[in-house]
Chain A
Amino acid sequence: MSQLFNRQTNVYSRLSILAVIAFLLTLGGIVGLLNLSGYNTGQNDYIEQPVQFSHAHHVGGMGIDCRYCHTSVEESSFANIPPTKTCMNCHSQIWTGAPVLEPVRASFRENKPLHWTRVHDLPDFVYFNHSIHVKQGVGCATCHGPVDKMPLVYQQAPLTMSWCLDCHRNPAKYIRPRDQVFNMAWERPSNDPDFGARLVREHKIGSVEQLTSCSTCHR
């Protein structure tokens, strides 16, 4: 009986075992990395808005406080998007003819709100409340990044559940004094290792069990 397979077959069949393992590892790695990447999370994506509003100019340049526009952030779950009238407080006086502001004026004239595109969009099954985070000393910049340096706002954090849990499992690493929440330039003191833990006590932040209970965020 003639040979069914040639001599190299042994090498190929052994290599194919390695190839299967390598393929599965590569596939798993690719899926895992894609899942983590901005391609999936939307991290670092610039989002087109109806008006080219620059936080870098208004916050960084002019020094306007976050709460001038996002008025409800301290009391409400939602840090509101300002109405056109807030824009017109200034822009009825300055840059009144600027072509870039035409959509704002049109919105004011026709009494139709601007349709901003949401940048930080959490899934619907997550309950998120701005007011409690602000009250307990989570700075705006902690989650939203250096907004005062963003010409167009992008999502700086991945907003994955593991990212949320990083802080909920160890808030001491992230929180700051209450009066520094809106300070974009604040830096935690490097010479005080007990700083965060003290704040957690002072702010009476709940236990890790409470913060990581399913129903804290999934209600």
Chain B
Amino acid sequence: MDSKTAAHYPAPPPVIAPGHTFETVTEKISRIVLGGRHPLGWFIALGIGFLFVNVLMVSIGYLLLKGIGIWGNNVPVGWAFDIINFVWWIGIGHAGTLISAILLLLKQDWRTSINRFAEAMTLFAVACAAMFPLIHTGRPWLAAYWLFPYPNTMDIWPQFRSPLIWDVFAVSTYASVSALFWYTGLIPDLATLRDRTKKKWLARLYGGLALGWRGSARHWQRYETAYLLLAGMSTPLVLSVHTIVSFDFSVGLVPGWHATIFPPYFVAGAIYAGFAMVLLLAIPLRKMYGVEDFITMRHLENMAKITLVTGLMVCYGYAMEAFYGWYSANQYEEFMIYNRMTGPYGWAYWMLIFCNGVVPQTLWIKRLRTNLVWLFIMALIVSVGMWLERFVIIVTSLHRDFLPSSWDMYYPTVWDFSTFFGTLGLFVTLFFLFVRVLPMISIFEMRTLVPAARVAGPHDPNADVDVTYGGNQ
């Protein structure tokens, strides 16, 4: 037995670099928005993003003109890029909610410097995801009546026993709660920007958005309650949304979809892909804006550890899929896993195992875990791997189903790719616009991390400066 006690382990490094005060934190973060000058990297990223937004618009325009026949999906692979991309995007959003809600409830103070932009990432990822169910109908202006239950002249409702309608509710709940949570978190910071800007119109704009925030004790008391309630509401969503997304498949009878492991397997995959995306955004952002003091190595390392853990859970899912193939003693299930590994899409399966199973194992090594370049490359590989996972689940299951007479290959078209890359562009564009106009790190929560905020008690000499949240300085 190891006789070491907690005291023998070194305390984790602080979540904010030493030497910061309330003023430096506020100044540093709000200057990114109000300072006027932006790094070259911002222009490059936004430019590339905007280029692909145009690609997206052309792709959707052509889709509306010609119909979904421009895509490669057809019998037997009726679901392909549209749902792959949907699941991929919605999964990415989950890291944001986990960081902002679950880590808040667990009092993980390192979440503070990454929650704001991770929540923004969630919102933009959900926006990209929600686009696919709409456009895959080919006639999105009719999608409202296909998707939403409302009293209508047909006197019928959507099929409530179908997971697809559960999905509509799961995703729209997720989008609205995430937006609310994000906006509520922004209110004190919007007030800070209102007070710091020198431009009258900007002060009025931020002031309007801050909803009359004055930072009074009563405001803070209500605010904390509301924020905690929203965190409580968001917490089950981290689990429920991707569970329901996985029902889209597992409720169906197709071999390769019909498995009870799907909900936890999908949720783990979602958080896994999400943390990879947070890393992809955090590593260049902290460099670009020089906020290494706030997004420290400890943050990146913690995120790398969560990536490793969820990656192992996902690997357990892959192992179980193979196990079920054998254990079911069902020839269709057996063939499905055999075909997945050795069939025409075998390359995708093995690439997925490499990306999601092998590469993240490097995170066991501290030197690689703290190497920014490797971390960035690893996050990219994981993102590709998680996309491939959905590709493998959807395409290999459908292309060899029960009826050998309908077996066929699926080939994506150029429009499939342009739509997907277009949503990537949309995501990047929205994200960098967000960085430009709103504080990407929560100012008031960061102020609680500086040493002066650690008030000892009611009789502490520091207590009378009301520093807990720093007021509106």
Contacts and interface: CB of A to CB of B under 8 A. Distances in A.
B211 A13 contact: yes
A135 B154 CA distance: 25
A89 interface: no
Interface stretch (A92-100, A106-114, A160-168, A179-187): A160-168
Interface centre among A4, A41, A158, A165 (most CB of B within 10 A): A4
B156 interface: yes
Contact of A158 (B153, B207, B212): B153
Interface in A1-22: 1, 4-5, 9-10, 13
A170 B151 CA distance: 20
A161 B207 contact: no
Interface centre among A158, A160, A166 (most CB of B within 10 A): A160
B222 to A, nearest CB: 16
A36 B211 contact: no
B151 A5 contact: no
A14 B134 CA distance: 33
Interface residues of B, number: 14
Given A4-B194, A4-B203, A4-B207, A161 B153 contact: yes
B195 interface: yes
Contacts of A166: 155
Nearest to A9: B212
A5 B305 CA distance: 48
Given A13-B211, A13-B212, A32-B151, A5 B156 contact: no
Given A4-B194, A10-B212, A36 B153 contact: yes
B154 A162 contact: yes
Main secondary structure of the interface of B (DSSP, over half): loop
Interface string B147-179: 000011111100000000000000000000000
Main secondary structure of the interface of A (DSSP, over half): helix
Given A1-B195, A4-B194, A5-B204, A160 B154 contact: yes
Given A4-B203, A4-B204, A161 B194 contact: no
A161 B156 contact: yes
A35 B145 CA distance: 13
Contact of A162 (B155, B204, B211): B155
Interface string B258-276: 0000000000000000000
A13 B204 CA distance: 14
Contacts of B207: 4-5
A4 B203 CA distance: 7
Contacts of A1: 195
Interface of B: 151-156, 194-195, 203-204, 207-208, 211-212
Interface of A: 1, 4-5, 9-10, 13, 32, 35-36, 41, 158, 160-162, 165-166
Given A35-B153, A158-B153, A161-B153, 6 more contacts: A1-B195, A4-B194, A9-B212, A10-B212, A35-B152, A160-B155
21 contacts: A4-B207, A5-B207, A5-B212, A9-B212, A10-B212, A13-B208, A13-B211, A32-B151, A35-B152, A41-B153, A160-B153, A160-B155, A161-B153, A161-B154, A161-B155, A161-B156, A162-B152, A162-B153, A162-B155, A165-B154, A166-B155
